Amino acid sequence: MFETILNFLFPPACSVCGKLNQNWLCPTCEKRVERLEKSCLVEVENKKYEKLLYLFQYESLVRKLILRYKFSNKAYLNHFFANQIAQNEKNRELLKEYHMIIPVPMHQKKMQKRGYNQTELVAHELEKSLGIPMKKDILSKVVNTITQSKLGGKARQSNIQHAFFIKNDIEVEDKKIILLDDIYTTGATSEECSRVLKEAGAREILVLVLAKD
């Protein structure tokens, strides 16, 4: 009911061009965004994770799409992003080497405010299409940090330190893990999540993000 009223007041529109569209992304813009897909794999050094796979560069249309996507519930877009990841054969082969997908958690307070964790929704779609289990009860965010995008490089690191906690060590021991997040900027969040996962015995970590800034 509430959603019906919302849809009446704010009819669903394409997140990129603003034209009315039930899926929050019109077919023309969907094609434009698809053409920007690059699926880039980076082998990293001196980090707590081994690899970084990003789907898009965080710019232009993609930036617009992700920003709008983060702040309203647009199921079609979860599907779109998960599809973009999974329809690439190289990505599929790579991801299937891993035991589980862990979405970067949100603090409970933020979750209550927004009503959903968009990263978890994409992870859920990936679980369905790739058959890799999504585990959302392993990692938990115990400190309600300031939104990272409001901070500079150094401040981001100290802001996020000790914000995550492992609830279940046994499940990650000796496992290859996909850590899923939406945007990668300085990598402070990925590093901190990976640090606690490694301390709990994780064997290898691939950070998968929709876009890299």
Site of interaction with Zn ion (CB under 5 A) = 14, 16-17, 26, 29
Minimum CB distance to Zn ion, residue 18 (Å): 7
Minimum CB distance to Zn ion, residue 166 (Å): 41
Q: Where are the alpha helices (DSSP H) in the chain?
A: 2-9, 27-34, 60-70, 75-86, 89-95, 108-114, 118-130, 153-160, 169-172, 188-199
Output 23 or 83, the one with its CB closest to Zn ion: 23
Minimum CB distance to Zn ion, residue 56 (Å): 16
Minimum CB distance to Zn ion, residue 28 (Å): 5
Q: Residue 93 in 3-state DSSP?
A: helix
3-state class percentages of the chain: helix first, strand second, coil last, to nearest 5: 45, 20, 35
84: Cα within 13 Å, side-chain hemisphere: 27
Output 5 or 20, the one with its CB closest to Zn ion: 20
Output 31 or 113, the one with its CB closest to Zn ion: 31
**Contact between residue 205 and residue 48 where contact means Cβ atoms under 8 Å apart:** yes
Output 17 or 111, the one with its CB closest to Zn ion: 17
